[in-house]
Amino acid sequence: MKVLMFGWEFPPHITGGLGTACFGITKGLLKQGVEVLFVVPKAFGDENQKDVRLINASDITIDKKNSKYQEYWKRIKYMEIGSNIIPYVGPEEFKKFVDENKLNSKTETGSVLSKTFKFSGKYGKNLMAEVSRYALVASAIAASNNFDVIHAHDWLTYPAGIASKKVSGKPLVVHIHATEFDRSGENINQDVYDIERKGMEEADKVITVSNLTRKIIIERYGINPDKVFTIHNGVEPVTNNKLKDTNKYVKEKIVTFLGRITFQKGPDYFIEAAKKVLDYDDNVRFVMAGSGDMLNKMIKRVAQLRIASKFHFTGFLKGDDVDKMFNMSSVYVMPSVSEPFGISPLEAIRSNVPVVISKQSGVSEVLKHALKVDFWDIDALSDSIYGLLHYEGLSKMFIKYGKKEIENLKWDNTAKKIIEIYRDVVST
């Protein structure tokens, strides 16, 4: 079986769990004999392509005069997604429509089909324009490759998945790693929501990373429950033999938060809990590893609480630096407000670090040996951190049984379940 897969990032160039999940899934699929053509907006050249054939969308040239594509261009119709994105036109036409406020039911193609688009592959201010161009390039890739099923990860690639389905007639599977409600709470970006909903409506099957997310998809997006399936994420096994449970580099105990410093991840609750712990024990250091739109606010709050001497901001970490951070940690905390899954607690346990996670996380469905609290309950959060820091028996128990637990949470098992979805959509 061959899969045309669309993503927005691939290791080592990642911003969080999405790239990690895509890598784990592709490796697992390969072991099951599935061939994956993985498309990214921009390949940097140092990606790990051992387990996947990576297609760089920035290298694809589109020429509407080429007879090879003409029949496909005729089949691509205008599809309005939201109020400010047209996934089948180029950036110049896109900007013109925005400037003139004429986003209506027109179809504009023209010379945009005779170009090679260069993507940044980032999440900048031109993101919507890149999503639209990516969909256009995706249709060309779909027209020139043989495959059995299309698999699109998260909202950024749903227009690309839809375009590929329209061009090829192949079934589409969309994978929900997070929803706009997870990222923004109730203050959602309507355009992103509309893209998500359209992608799920057009898909033959929808994969969610947790039952928590599945519930949101059904209740908040109105998607038919019969085509929504939960498949939990996995975790990569430890390959770094430098990891040892006793290899700590500083005298104080370290409590770590690792993730985007955004509303979704609950960094403010981590800081408030840190203050409470330090009031009882100043022999602790807290680390916030990540970046995001709340970073400056969090730095100011740490200063206001007068705990800056015990609090560190490392910036975004990836690769071996993540393993090193876990290796230094005594406790890992994930106080997410809304977490569709959450791979990082599994990575922490893999590195012999006990974890505290919010009940509002998908990983809490599969991880039993972790302390679970409501994200907003600062007292429970600080008590859990303090307990794991000061009661060695408790900490060792969670590490021991937690590691046994994650042995079953492998990407190979995730891949096997995904293949069942593929077979189902291909046979119908």
Same domain, 187 and 310: no
Pair (187, 104) in one structural domain: yes
Pairwise CA distance, residues 230 & 101, whole Å: 40
Q: What is the predicted pLDDT for the residue at 76?
A: 40
Which structural domain range is residue 202 located in? Answer: 2-234+412-427
What pLDDT shows up at residue 237?
75
- pLDDT mean for each 10 residues of the chain (428 residues): 90 75 91 91 71 75 56 41 34 43 37 55 67 83 92 93 92 95 87 94 97 96 97 80 52 93 94 97 95 93 97 90 92 94 92 95 92 97 97 93 88 95 93
Amino acid at 228: V
Say if residue 227 is in the same domain as residue 316.
no
Which residues face 183 on adjacent strands?
none
Amino acid making up residue 36: V
Q: How far is CA 120 from CA 40, 43, 76, 214, in A?
A: 10, 9, 25, 31
Let me know whether 84 and 223 are in one domain.
Answer: yes
The secondary structure of 78-134 as a DSSP string is ----SSS--TTS-HHHHHHHHHHT--SS----GGGGSEEPPP--S-STTHHHHHHHH
3-class state of residue 368 by DSSP: coil
In a domain, 241, yes or no: no
Residues 357, 333: Cα–Cα separation, whole Å: 6
Name, in order, each residue with C-beta under 8 angstroms of 71's C-beta and a sequence gap of 6 or more: none
In this structure, the answer to whether residues 197 and 68 fall within a common structural domain is yes
75 inside domain: yes
Residue 303 lies in a domain: yes
322 within some domain: yes
Q: How high is the pLDDT of residue 56?
A: 78
C-beta neighbour count of 123 within 10 angstroms: 12
pLDDT tens-digit series, residues 79-88? 333 333 333 3
Give the separation between CA 118 and CA 83, rounded to whole angstroms: 24
What gap in Å lies between CA 375 and CA 360, rounded to an integer? 7
User: Does residue 74 lie in a domain region?
Assistant: yes
- Number of compact structural domains in the chain: 2
pLDDT value at residue 94: 39
Tell how many helices (H) and how many strands (E) occur in the chain. Answer: 15, 15
For residues 298 and 206, membership in a common domain is answered with: no
- Same domain, residue pair 229 and 308: no
Predicted confidence at residue 64, as pLDDT, reads: 54
Please tell me the predicted confidence (pLDDT) of residue 95: 44
| pLDDT score, position 124 | 59
* Nearest in space to 121 (alpha carbons), one of 178, 179, 57, 68: 57
Q: Residue 35 maps to which CATH number? A: 3.40.50.2000
Tell the residue number behind the tokens 């993985």, with chain if given.
38
**Token pair for 36:** 């994956």
**pLDDT given for residue 129 in this prediction:** 75
**Spatial contact of 205 and 175, defined as CB atoms under 8 Å apart:** no
Q: Which tokens in the block code for residue 344? A: 């990082």
**Which tokens hold the place of 23?**
């890598």
Work out the number of other CB atoms within 10 angstroms of the CB of residue 93. 18
Q: CA–CA separation, 85 vs 159, rounded Å?
A: 10
